[in-house]
Amino acid sequence: MSKPAGSRRAPIGRRDFLKYSAAGMAGAAALGRVRAGLAAGRPIEFSIWSAAVDTVKSHLTAFEAKTGLSVNLSTAPWAQYRETLVTKFVGGAPLDTLWVSDSWLPEWAEAGWLSPVGDFPQLTAYNSDVDDFCVKSMTYNGQQYGITYYSDWMGFLYNEEMLSKAGITTPPESWDQVTEQALKIRQAGLAEYPVLLSFAQETWLIEFISAMVFSQGGRLVDDKNVAVMADPEHGAVKALRWAVDAVQKHKIVSPACVETGELAGLKAFGSGQFAFGLIPKYRLRTLNDPAQSQIPGKAKLMLMPRGDKGAHATVGWMRFYGLTSQARKDKARSAAAVQLMEWFGGKADGDYRFQKLLFLDVGAAFGVKSLFQDPEMRKAYQAFGDVDLIAKQQALAMKKDVVAPWFGEWNDLNGAAWQAAVVGKSTPEEALKRSADKWTELKKNA
């Protein structure tokens, strides 16, 4: 039936309907064949945060050339990585292997997104050559979930020149000595606030806090996940008391520490304003680089100061290659992913090639013990630090004890509680009780 032009479109007739339907079905069938074809030669889906991307790509190219496997690399900024990956997991996006932070392991393992790797001996074989805190940081509920990507720890650094000007020949051994020497430096007019603490509310804060607590011989949480931070015998109270006194009583730490983040602290230390600083160890290279620092060659590492019951311990952290549960369900996929994980986290052609590339290119530290004996690595380390002292401190690093499925929620409140004590809004005891209560509540509700 015809209609006047411009009034109404002609309805689709029965023949047209059948014709379009047939065409649609043929198209869908063709698409299905394409999908099946893609699945057969499917690349390994590898996700990382945006760090050392060029180094990763060059090592990936070598992997693809050697194995004939193809890899699809996707990156996301570190600041949004966790949220991006969680969204991908929930949305069922294809993922085989990825970089994982130790802080997220319990959460992702509990959600069933990561798969244990205990039955892949090609990955677990490296455990004996890796620092103890690294293996522990990749382990949750007795299961290992990956292979090392990089690891580092919190170091206590000093400005050798400033100490020398103050007539101090030996760096402090204990927190009490840090106070004494800092007061001496302050009285000499060399620094207004000689000690740098970066206590801003950011992701680094828990590492700064843990390092101070561990060096006191303490713990925040015991092996049974019971909060012990409010217990005066477990070091956290002493650590926070020291920080509070340093700010309010001795005035050797700036009250601005609560707005100083890790990066701002690094810049401030590099400008020569401080005698001592709690700083991630890998920053030693930057601080001794004339192109990036005003104190090149003067930033030195010492063992963490210890408390009455402490033994120079510090906190270590770990980033590792994890295997996804979706990859694990498919034998071919998991085999390819594990091959890639070993190529990066273990040995490639008989050598820890990627660990070395990372360290030499961008200064990212490693948890592989034998690399401390490698002449090339020793030479590179020696250019900005005492390699034997670094190895000694690394052996005293401990994993973060607060990593649990509820870590994120507790961490915000804990950071605020420490800040409240530092700015004088509460006592250390009150702050730590608040933190412990929150931990207990979250654990109960988990």
Q: Which residues of this chain interact with other proteins, rule CB under 8 A?
A: 83, 86-87, 89-90, 107-108, 110-112, 192, 200-202, 254-260, 264, 267-268, 273, 405, 408-409, 412, 415-417, 419-420, 422-423, 425
Output 384 or 439, the one with its CB closest to other proteins: 439
CA atoms within 13 A on the CB side of 197: 30
**Closest distance of CB 78 from other proteins, Å:** 14
Name the residue among 192, 141, 127 with its Cα closest to residue 162. Answer: 192
What amino acid is encoded at 263 in this protein?
A: L
Name the residue among 277, 309, 319, 242 with its Cα closest to residue 155. Answer: 277
Output 82 or 400, the one with its CB closest to other proteins: 82
d(CA 71, CA 74): 10
d(CA 345, CA 63): 13
**Closest distance of CB 90 from other proteins, Å:** 6
Output 144 or 419, the one with its CB closest to other proteins: 419
Output 247 or 364, the one with its CB closest to other proteins: 247
Output 168 or 268, the one with its CB closest to other proteins: 268
- Phi and psi at residue 147, in whole multiples of 5°? -135, 150
Tokens of 119: 């039955």
Output 260 or 355, the one with its CB closest to other proteins: 260
Distance of CA 68 to the CA centre of its chain: 31
d(CA 444, CA 226): 11
**Closest distance of CB 82 from other proteins, Å:** 9
**Closest distance of CB 1 from other proteins, Å:** 19
Dihedral sign of CA atoms 388, 393, 394, 396 in order: positive
Residue 367, SS3 per DSSP: coil
d(CA 43, CA 426): 55
**H-assigned helices in 271-374:** 283-287, 325-328, 331-345, 353-362
Rg (CA), the chain: 27
**Closest distance of CB 420 from other proteins, Å:** 4
**Closest distance of CB 290 from other proteins, Å:** 21
**Closest distance of CB 417 from other proteins, Å:** 8
Output 174 or 203, the one with its CB closest to other proteins: 203
